[in-house]
Chains A and B, each alone.
Chain A
């Protein structure tokens, strides 16, 4: 499987502010890649560089095998782009917008367009300026999926949308996921979790992690260890670097294991704490994983994750 996006050492500075700081990112073909991260992490800047809207200060990015700085109409005919703050020609009706865009794309599929119109229940005769936020996003997505792009890049598409609209959009995405590689940035981790196959976590201009969703959720566990008391577990003892957010109480130790292994992890716990009464390891939702990573980053522990 080749990579449709490959960014190497991307740096972007706006005056003195270094928004991207040596970003490395690969998005494999056929994946649904969720790019997560806190506000100001550099998600939108990354996407704008990939779309040739911004030029990187240094580094290199290739999209569909083409240098992003030379991304031209031929490549854009195979790329869809949906952004929360994109400015559309407000005077156009939904129908006119779709009709206007059609000749730009040799692979435009009328049947697919009609299906998307039905699926999203788009009001064809309404001007874009009179559409709700949710309906605008649906229109944007429909206009980007109707030509069956090889790559769909979405920047915070779910921001500010009600759950029903989100569900509709996700349904539309899931249907296209087979033929279209999707890069989606969001801080709404719950939505990404439901359909992303890969996940990247961006913070302070660097990708802190990037891996398959299954592997990520498999290796993160919230571990609770019930220990005999006394002795208490001193907090200042050297913890393994891949144990994050440790908490202790007289009979309980709690931490996040970032490299969980059903055999190795209990052994490691016993080595550290001696005999323990009980060990429980619970899978973590994506949101909890990223909160852990974000807090770990603040205390310098996320690198180990």
Chain B
């Protein structure tokens, strides 16, 4: 590997200014992160963008220093060993892309006083994810020497980055990690094949086809992976236990209070009530997804997939029972034809049982205090009166989190919980912050402590249920019944 080190030193000399810039941007990113006020929105996006541009430029120039396509490059007639060349390029990526970001994240985690030992897996996994994300773009950069191609490529990289980074907080968050991981894995495998083909054989045309195939597979998995398949995989991977055996699920009664929703034309909004009985003591049901098949007496059918029923709202809760409302959008043709006729409804509810609640009371101040499961919580007396913020390193824990102030009800944090088993998400910014005030009401309690309650996922379950003689009219959105925006929705 002497030759790899030799080539690496040459590249380091050649790209010394760009590499220094990346280190500087990373340092600026860390410095700004630590200087800006805590909260949901900070100013670190600016150095993050510069960092991204710096990295993109560095990778493009690194690859083109020994360009693969073409027949005039001096290096192809010199005794380069392909393994050494590839190793040198990868080493460069690690030292001048991963290492600065690692250092920036390490400083942020350290200065924010997160427990270092607990943060190490996230720190390392974050680098692995970043490497797995950047390697495909480095591989694609070997496919052409045209400047326009390089520009377009890194424009696409920026778009994909934004999708990947922002795609983890919303409905269906729980199983999204599966499609993201498969898509990233497909891209990574494509990158490995391209790099081997290009550096070993310089087969650019074949590599371009391979890249096109890999990108299509990855995009398909990311955008169009069937959710039932992802959810089924999630159920398969999860530790199942007998907790769910007592649970009975069926169609509930229509409820007058409705979600506020915009008009969805030509779709029709249906509020499907789901009754959950027999919830084990000390556990809580968190709905993940719902699929519905409607069949009329004359054989007409309508399928509502996971993406048609994305929003859930808890209607009523008692100790062992709950009613959950799912907002679904239905095909208007089917609805017009069948809305006042009896139809048969068959549905599958995917849900997670949370339990084993633990709590910790910490001082409520502007300075974050370490709480349970890697969370740090604080308040913001400057910008709001009694908001409670919690932040977590590298990812939000796979927990339901509540904050309880004095004798008030526990306020829920945004509960988009990912069931990913990995210790970090793909992101340069290692800190994820959430806020529990949206659901709080009333005057600020005069307290100095906050109790953070966390519940862990105990079982991922799927229950099928059916109901006959259902009249869709009862569940349809009606402008006359529209009430105020809900204040107790389950996000």
Contact = CB atoms under 8 A, between A and B. Distances in A.
Interface of A: 48, 51, 53-54, 72-74, 76-77, 79, 81, 83, 85-89, 91, 100-101, 103-105
A305 to B, nearest CB: 33
B81 to A, nearest CB: 5
Contacts, number: 43
Contacts of B148: none
B72 A86 contact: yes
> Which one of B10, B76, B79 has the greatest number of beta carbons of chain A within 10 Å?
B79
The 5 tightest CB contacts between A and B, nearest first, are A73-B79, A81-B77, A76-B79, A77-B79, A87-B72
Nearest to A96: B13
11 contacts: A53-B77, A73-B81, A76-B77, A76-B78, A83-B72, A87-B70, A87-B73, A89-B14, A89-B65, A100-B6, A103-B6
A89 B74 contact: yes
Contact of B77 (A51, A100, A103): A51
A149 to B, nearest CB: 11
Nearest to B80: A73
Contacts of A51: 77
A48 B3 contact: no
B281 interface: no
Contacts of B383: none
Given A79-B77, A91-B14, 6 more contacts: A53-B76, A73-B81, A74-B79, A77-B79, A87-B74, A103-B6
A91 B10 CA distance: 11
Contacts of B77: 51, 53, 76, 79, 81, 86
Contacts of B80: 73, 104
A94 B71 CA distance: 22
B218 to A, nearest CB: 30
A53 B71 contact: yes
Contacts of B147: none
B407 interface: no
B265 interface: no
B239 interface: no
Interface string B54-80: 000000000001000011111011111
B448 interface: no
A54 B76 CA distance: 11
A179 B269 CA distance: 87
A87 B71 CA distance: 9
A147 to B, nearest CB: 10
B183 to A, nearest CB: 35
Nearest to B77: A81
Nearest to B70: A87
Contacts of A85: 72
Contact of A103 (B2, B70, B73): B2
A100 B73 CA distance: 16
Contacts of B65: 89
A226 B73 CA distance: 57
B57 to A, nearest CB: 15
Nearest to B10: A100
A103 B3 contact: yes
B277 to A, nearest CB: 71
Given A76-B78, A103-B2, A54 B10 contact: no
A55 B456 CA distance: 61
A101 B74 CA distance: 11
B455 to A, nearest CB: 59
Nearest to B14: A91
B465 to A, nearest CB: 64
A54 B70 CA distance: 10
A274 to B, nearest CB: 58
B84 to A, nearest CB: 9
A104 B80 CA distance: 7
A100 B66 CA distance: 14
Interface string B386-406: 000000000000000000000
B39 to A, nearest CB: 45
A100 B378 CA distance: 56
Contacts of B3: 103-104
A280 to B, nearest CB: 48
Contacts of A86: 72-74, 77
A171 to B, nearest CB: 23
Nearest to A103: B6
Interface in B73-131: 73-74, 76-81
Nearest to B15: A91
Given A89-B14, A89-B65, A91-B14, A104 B71 contact: no
Nearest to A76: B79
A91 B14 CA distance: 7
Contacts of A87: 70, 72-74
Nearest to B65: A89
A54 B71 contact: yes
> Which one of A72, A79, A81, A87 has the greatest number of beta carbons of chain B within 10 Å?
A87
Contacts of B73: 86-87
Interface in B263-296: none
Contacts of B72: 83, 85-87
Interface string B7-19: 0001000100000
